[in-house]
Amino acid sequence: MVAEIGINHNGDIDLAKKLINVALGADCDAVKFQKRTIDVVYTPEELAKPRESPFGATNGDLKRGLEFELEEYREIDRYCREVKIDWLRLAGTRPPSISSPSFKSLASRSLPHPSPTTTCCAILARSASRSYCRPG
């Protein structure tokens, strides 16, 4: 069973760890995060809209603030190894959001297709047969 964390960590690594612990307590086998390419998902107009948040004054500030980057995913990897739970990350958009050079060191944890396709059995079967889908 895989626990969906997505971006419910709200950009906070400590909250992400708490959610991982909840998944462990529920006997989940793995946790799943989502990585989006904000500038692809949203139009410049949408990102520029005013929206107060802890991350700034625009909708773009909020959306970018909710995303983990390489440093946070390295910490997730370290923590998940420590507590002995598998984890993976799906693209919430197109594959480049997780296959950029900065994320190559965590490529074994990334599935190169958008999250909405995870209900497609053919795509899941293809992903399961590839090495990038196996825990590293």
Tell whether the model's pLDDT for residue 75 goes beyond 80: yes
pLDDT tens profile 35-46: 888 988 899 999
Cα atoms in the 13 Å half-sphere on the side-chain side of 49: 9
Alpha-carbon Rg for the chain, nearest whole angstrom, is 15
Q: What pTM, to 2 d.p., does this model score?
A: 0.72
Tens of pLDDT along 59-74? Answer: 999 999 999 999 999 9
Burial class (CB in 10 A: 0-12, 13-18, 19+), 80: buried
pLDDT of residue 40: 87
Q: Could you tell me what percent of the chain has a pLDDT over 70? A: 67
36 backbone dihedrals φ, ψ, rounded to 5°: -110, 150
Residue 93 is given by DSSP the state S
Determine the Cα–Cα distance for residues 99 and 6; give it in Å rounded to an integer.
18
CA 2 to chain CA centroid, Å, is 13
Top-confidence residue, 89 or 84: 84
Q: How confident is the model at residue 4 (pLDDT cuts 50, 70, 90)?
A: very high
- Containing 34, the helix (H) or strand (E) segment is strand 30-35
For the chain, give every domain's residue range: 2-133
The residue type found at 22 is V
Q: What is the pLDDT of residues 118-131, one digit of tens each?
A: 555 655 565 555 54
